[in-house]
Amino acid sequence: MNYKKQLVVIPGIVLAFVIYNLSQGFNNIIGIELLGYDKSPISTAMFAILFGMLLGNIFQIRESFIKGLNFTQSYILKFGIICLGIQLKPFEFLEFGVIAIPLIIICIVSVLMVVKLIIKKLKIATRMAYLISIGSTVCGTTAIMATAPVIKANKSEVSYAIANITLFGILSMLIYPYFANYYFDGNSLFVGLFLGTSIHETSQVAAAGLIYEQQFNSPETLNIATITKLIRNTFLVIMIPLFAFLYNRNNTKENNYSIIKIFPYFVLGFIVMIIIRNVGDQIFLNSNYEFWNNTIDNIRLFSKIFLTMAMAAIGLTTNLKDLKSMGYKPFVVGFIGMATVGVVCILTLEFYIYYLY
């Protein structure tokens, strides 16, 4: 009987995997064939949720797929987040960490304070505000997907938050390279720090860095922006438990509330994967390094596949009528969040330039 129950999830998982492949192919056509990049600057996850929402709202998803799609949104999503830890190398961040870490912390705290004030004025759902906040300050879609389970966000809220972050992330990806070059007078360090801190998605940061490199002949900027963004990504380890605590504290009436009950334990897997990466780098430093690099690349690929499958599952089970009912207010919050990150980043870098640099 248990064996049959396990098989029930397979159709939904397969459907999510098919949507992933369609999204990857479509992304390559647009990003590589049409736009001419070596690697598409557009997130495959964005296409996955759009394809999923399109199919899920045109066709009635059969009950035989629903359990597998729910499994994908819950467990395969967490596997993807755990695998994501393999790309992080904190020991390499020391060179820029002295500047980047305080800069990131200041931006995160500023956005959280601003959003806290805005949601009181606009009266939007706390869960939606949390998703937009962490998406704006940490690592976009991945942060939203990682936070959603621990604050019990529904599919519509996740979809809306991701659409929000994607829209403003793409705008900043296209505008910020030129603005930063003008504002920071071509200084690769400060341009890289700005791009890595103020743009939402890792793929968007890489694309902005690539645009800057190609336009202004500065490969150093791409490296600094990417490293800064990866430092931001590590803040998932802190922000997810923090948001879980804040949300459940405000929504729990029981006196025996405990952080242990709501702690997202998959974050521990994320941390373990970071440790494995750094230990492996040392072990295979002088031998079998090619094998280790291939292993890292494969785990990264699995992370991308798992996360994009989860996006597809969310899209397939999202009703556009629910998104429409949420109105324009969350997009106002998203825009203000993006603007806050950018302005605070500039002010902080200005302080560093005049007083510490």
Portion of the chain with pLDDT greater than 70, in percent? 86
Q: Is residue 68 part of a domain?
A: no
User: For position 198, what pLDDT does the model report?
Assistant: 92
For residue 123, being part of any structural domain is answered with yes
- In-domain check, residue 197: yes
Q: Quick check: 346 pLDDT over 90?
A: yes
* Residue 255: pLDDT over 50: no
pLDDT at 2: 53
Q: Check whether 250 has a pLDDT greater than 70.
A: no
In terms of residue numbers, what domain contains 121?
7-63+76-86+97-355
Asked which of 56-60, 190-194, 343-347 is least confident by mean pLDDT, the reply is 56-60
pLDDT at 43: 66
pLDDT for 254: 46
Q: State the average pLDDT for the chain.
A: 80
| Cα→Cα distances 106→110, 154, 346, Å | 6, 29, 11
Higher-confidence position of 250 and 229: 229
Residue 170 has pLDDT above 80, yes or no: no
Hey, which of 129-133, 154-158, 273-277, 294-298 has the most confident mean pLDDT? 294-298
Query: What is the C-alpha separation between 143 and 333, in angstroms, rounded?
Result: 17
Helix axes 289-316, 44-58, angle to 10 degrees: 30
Q: Residue 180 has what pLDDT? A: 93
The two three-digit tokens of residue 149, written as one number: 């389970």
Determine the pLDDT at residue 251: 58
Instruction: Output 255 or 299, whichever has higher pLDDT.
Output: 299
Q: H or E element: which one contains 271? A: helix 266-283
- What pLDDT does residue 222 have? 77
Structural domain contains residue 227: yes
Is 50 exceeded by the pLDDT of residue 150?
Answer: yes
Q: Taking 50 as the threshold, does the pLDDT of residue 1 lie above it?
A: no
Note the pLDDT of residue 347: 93
User: Cα angle at 137 between 264 and 73, to 5 degrees?
Assistant: 40
Instruction: Label residue 185 exposed, middle or buried (CB < 10 Å: 0-12, 13-18, 19+).
Output: exposed
| Structure confidence by residue, pLDDT tens digits, 231-249 | 787 788 788 888 877 777 6
- Residue 323 inside a domain? The answer is yes
Residue 169 lies in a domain: yes
Q: What is the pLDDT of residue 277?
A: 87
State the Rg of the chain over Cα: 20
Compute the average pLDDT of residues 29-58. Answer: 78
CB 21 within 8 A of CB 51: no
What is the reported pLDDT for 86?
82
Please check whether residue 37 lies inside any domain of the structure: yes
- Evaluate whether 134 touches 164 at the Cβ level (below 8 Å): no
As to burial, measured by CB atoms within 10 angstroms (0-12 exposed, 13-18 middle, 19+ buried), residue 104 is buried
- The pLDDT assigned to 197 comes to 92
Q: Number of structural domains, the chain?
A: 1
Percent of the chain with pLDDT over 90: 11
In a domain, 1, yes or no: no
pLDDT digits (tens, 9 = 90+) for 195-221: 999 988 776 787 688 778 767 888 788
- Give whole-number Cα distances, 278 to 86, 284, 285, in Å: 9, 10, 10
Q: What is the pLDDT of residue 167?
A: 77
